[in-house]
Amino acid sequence: MNKKIYLLPVFLVLLLASPSFAQLPVSLDLPKVSPKETRSITIGYTKISFEYSSVAVKGRKVWGDLVPYGRIWRTGANENTIVSFSDDVLINGEPIAAGSYALHTIPSENEWVLIFSHFTEGWGSFFYDESEDALRIRVEPKDMDSKYEWMKFSFDNYTASSVDIALKWAHKKIPFRVEIPKEQTFAHIENQLRSLAAFSWHGWYQGAEYTLNNSYKMEKGLAWADRAMQMEKNVQTMTMKSKLLLATGENAAGLELAEEMGDKFGDEWRTHYNMGEIYQLAEMEEKAIKHYSKALKMNSNQRWKDRIQAKINSLKSSTP
C-alpha cells in the first residue's frame, strides 16, 4: 500500500484535533437580510447601472434616526452601492468620466450631498476617504405621498439624451439628473458610419436625420445627406437634404431640390406630404397647404388622412 495514502487519515485526525485548527473561523454563506438588486437603463448608447443591497423600513423611523443626518451613509446595506456609466456623462450638469463609482451620501433634512468615489471595494462607508472623490453634488430631498418599504433606485422622464434618477425610501426621494452629452451619441453614430452601415444609403440618411432632429452638427449632417442621395436619389434622401439645406440657411438650394423632387416623384402622395413639410419649414404656408392637400387627395389610409388634415387645419388657423 502507498504510504502517503495510508498516512493521510492519520494526518487529518491530528489536524482536526490541534488547538490552532479549532480557532480558525469558519463562516456559513447564509441568505442576506438585505437583498442584492441591480437596476440599469440605456439612454441613447449609454448604459447607466446601479448595484446595491436594498434595505427595508420594518416599522423604524428612517430619516434622522436609522440613517442619521449629517453623517456619511453607505446608501444601502452591506458592500458599497456601485453606480456605473458606460460613457462620460453629466450629473446635474457636472461632468463625470465613464466608469464605476461607489455612491455615498450625507443626508440632512433640507439638502443631501451625493458623493461618487473612485474606491469601489469598500464595505459600507467605514473606509471612505474624501481624497478619492470623483464628484460631489448637492440635491434637495423631496417628500412622497407613497411609501417605499424597500430602498430603490428609479428611472423616470426618459429622453434621447437624459434621464431623471431618484433614490426612494420610506416617504422621501432624492432626485438627480443624468445627461448624455450630444458629442457622445454623435461619436457612436459617426463610428457606425465606418462600418456596415456605410454601405447603404439608409445609414447616412439616419445619421443626417439625427443631426437635424437635434440641431447638432448639421453641416456634417448635410454632408451625410448628400452621401445618402448620391447612393440613391429617392423621396427620403432628397427630403432630408432639402430640410438640412433650409436648416443651415441655404433656403434657395433647399427649395430648388424640393421642386426637383416634385417633378421626379410627383405621382406619390408621400412626395407632396414631404414637400408640405419643407414649405412649412420655409414658412411658406400657402404652398405647404397646397402640397398637403394633394397628399390628402392621393391617400387612402384614414389614419394618414386625419394626420394630414390636422396639419392643414393648423396652418389655416395660423394664417392671417
Q: What is the pLDDT of residues 50-65, one digit of tens each?
A: 999 999 999 999 999 9
**Is residue 77 a contact partner of residue 67, using CB atoms and an 8 Å limit?**
no
For domain 183-318, the question of CATH label 3.40.1280.10 is answered with no
pLDDT > 60? residue 180: yes
pLDDT band at 297; cut points 50, 70, 90: very high
Whose grid coordinates read 473561523?
Answer: 25
pLDDT band at 5; cut points 50, 70, 90: very low
Angle at 250 between CA 257 and CA 236, to 5 degrees: 40
Nearest residue to 165 (alpha-carbon basis) of 181, 180, 184, 185? 180
C-alpha cell at 41: 437603463
Average pLDDT value over all residues in the chain = 91
Note the pLDDT of residue 6: 45
pTM: 0.77
Residue spans in the chain of domains classed CATH 1.25.40.10: 183-318
C-alpha cell at 109: 433634512
pLDDT band at 30; cut points 50, 70, 90: low
pLDDT band at 124; cut points 50, 70, 90: confident
pLDDT > 50? residue 160: yes
pLDDT band at 41; cut points 50, 70, 90: very high
pLDDT band at 307; cut points 50, 70, 90: very high
pLDDT > 60? residue 316: yes
pLDDT > 60? residue 211: yes
Note the pLDDT of residue 2: 47
Residue pLDDT, tens place only, 75-108: 999 889 999 999 999 999 999 999 999 999 999 9
Q: What is the mean pLDDT of residues 251-269?
A: 97
d(CA 166, CA 177): 8
Q: What is the mean pLDDT of residues 25-32?
A: 62
pLDDT > 60? residue 13: no
Residue pLDDT, tens place only, 268-293: 999 999 999 999 999 999 999 999 99
Note the pLDDT of residue 34: 72
